[in-house]
C-alpha cells in the first residue's frame, strides 16, 4: 500500500467524486434547482467563453449525413484506435464534416430544444451530448489558423478561444509524442459544477458517461470518414486548464481525441493496385 497521500496534488473533480460518491442527496456539493431554471446543459460554456468572442462559420459541404464514405456496418467493422497520422493537413471541409457528424442531425433544426436533464426519465433522445463540449485544438488544417476554438454545433461555427500557434505548449504538456503529428486534437471539456447542479451527487458520474459517449461517437465518425483517430489522456490537465483560463470546477479538461489522415503502407497500396 502506498504511504503517501494521493490527494495532495489531485484535481478538484476527484475531491468532489470522493466527497459525494457514497452520500445521500442531502450531502450534495451544491443544491439542485428547478429544471425550468437550468437552461441548456451547454450554457456554462457561454459563461466562461462569451458568444461575443470572434467566430467564423464552419459549415459542411452538402449534407454530412448522406455523403459519408462507409455504410453503418462497415463503420462499426473498421472502428480502430490509431496513433499514427500521415504528414498531411486536414482540409477545412474535412474538419467541418467531422464535427457535424459528432452530433445528431436534429441539432440543425432551429425548433429543436435539447433536454435540460437528459439523464433523468425514460423518454428517448437523439443522442445529443450537450454537457461535455468539443474544443478543437487546430495544429494543421488548410484554411484555418492554428489555435483553440469552441465548436457550436447549433450554429456550426468556431468560436475563437486562443488563435495562436499552440505547438510549443502542446509539445511541453503532452506525454505521448506520436499525437503531435495529428492535424487536430479535440479537447473535451465539462463543468463539474453544472453537472452537480443538475444531478446532485451523481453529477460527476454522468459527466464521465457523457464524455465516454462523445469519444465513442468520434471513433465512429473517424471510421465513417476513413480517418485515423485515437483518444488520449496523456495531457497535463491542470496546465491545459490554466492555458484555457478555466479552473477545473466550472470548466474541466477531460480527454483529447486526435484525428488525421491514415498512413497507407506499401503492402496496402499494392493490394489496392495503386
Domains in the chain, ordered, with CATH? 42-106+126-271 (3.40.109.10)
What pLDDT, on a 0 to 100 scale, did the predictor assign at position 87? 94
Mean pLDDT of the chain: 85
Tell me the pLDDT band of 204, cut-offs 50, 70 and 90: very high
Q: 76 or 82: whose pLDDT is higher?
A: 82
Could you read off the pLDDT of 118-164 as tens digits, one per residue? 888 777 778 899 999 999 999 999 999 999 999 999 999 999 999 99
User: Beta strand 228-232 with 252-260: parallel, antiparallel or unpaired?
Assistant: antiparallel
Q: What angle do CA 223, 227, 233 make, to 5 degrees?
A: 85
- CA 114, chain centre distance (Å): 18
Q: Which of 264, 266, 263 is nearest to 83 (CA)?
A: 263
Query: Residue 102 and residue 94: Cα distance in Å, rounded?
Result: 13
pLDDT > 50? residue 2: no
Average pLDDT of the residues in 214-229: 95
What pLDDT, on a 0 to 100 scale, did the predictor assign at position 225? 93
Q: Which of 153, 41, 54, 43 is nearest to 101 (CA)?
A: 153
Which residues lie closer than 8 Å to 266 by C-beta, 6 or more apart? none
Instruction: Dig out the grid coordinates for 104 from the structure.
Output: 445528431
Could you read off the pLDDT of 239-269 as tens digits, one per residue? 999 999 999 999 999 999 999 999 976 445 4
Query: Residue 31 and residue 196: Cα distance in Å, rounded?
Result: 8
Instruction: Dig out the grid coordinates for 58 from the structure.
Output: 464552419
Could you read off the pLDDT of 101-126 as tens digits, one per residue? 999 999 989 999 888 888 887 777 78
Tell me the pLDDT band of 71, cut-offs 50, 70 and 90: confident
Amino acid at each position: 500500500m502506498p504511504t503517501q497521500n494521493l490527494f495532495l496534488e489531485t484535481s478538484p473533480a476527484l475531491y468532489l467524486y470522493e466527497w459525494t460518491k457514497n452520500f445521500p442527496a442531502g450531502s450534495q456539493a451544491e443544491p439542485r434547482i428547478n429544471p425550468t431554471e437550468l437552461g441548456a446543459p451547454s450554457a456554462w460554456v457561454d459563461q466562461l467563453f462569451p458568444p461575443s468572442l470572434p467566430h467564423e462559420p464552419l459549415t459542411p459541404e452538402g449534407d454530412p449525413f448522406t455523403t459519408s464514405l462507409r455504410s453503418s456496418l462497415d463503420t462499426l467493422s473498421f472502428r480502430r484506435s490509431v496513433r499514427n497520422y500521415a504528414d498531411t493537413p486536414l482540409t477545412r471541409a474535412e474538419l467541418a464534416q467531422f464535427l457535424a457528424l459528432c452530433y445528431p442531425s436534429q441539432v440543425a433544426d432551429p425548433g429543436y430544444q435539447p433536454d435540460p436533464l437528459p439523464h433523468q426519465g425514460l423518454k428517448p433522445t437523439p443522442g445529443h451530448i450537450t454537457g461535455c463540449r468539443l474544443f478543437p485544438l487546430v495544429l494543421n488544417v488548410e484554411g484555418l489558423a492554428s489555435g483553440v476554438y469552441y465548436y457550436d454545433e447549433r450554429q456550426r461555427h468556431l468560436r475563437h478561444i486562443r488563435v495562436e500557434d499552440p505547438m510549443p505548449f502542446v509539445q511541453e504538456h503532452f506525454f505521448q509524442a506520436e499525437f503531435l503529428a495529428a492535424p487536430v486534437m479535440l479537447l473535451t471539456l465539462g463543468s463539474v459544477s453544472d453537472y452537480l447542479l443538475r444531478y446532485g451527487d451523481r453529477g460527476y458520474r454522468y459527466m464521465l458517461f457523457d464524455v465516454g459517449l462523445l469519444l465513442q461517437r468520434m471513433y465512429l465518425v473517424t471510421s465513417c470518414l476513413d480517418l485515423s483517430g485515437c483518444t488520449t489522456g496523456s495531457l497535463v490537465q491542470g496546465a491545459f486548464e490554466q492555458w484555457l483560463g478555466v479552473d477545473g470546477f466550472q470548466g474541466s479538461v477531460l480527454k483529447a481525441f486526435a484525428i488525421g489522415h491514415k498512413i497507407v503502407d506499401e503492402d496496402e497500396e499494392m493490394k489496392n493496385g495503386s
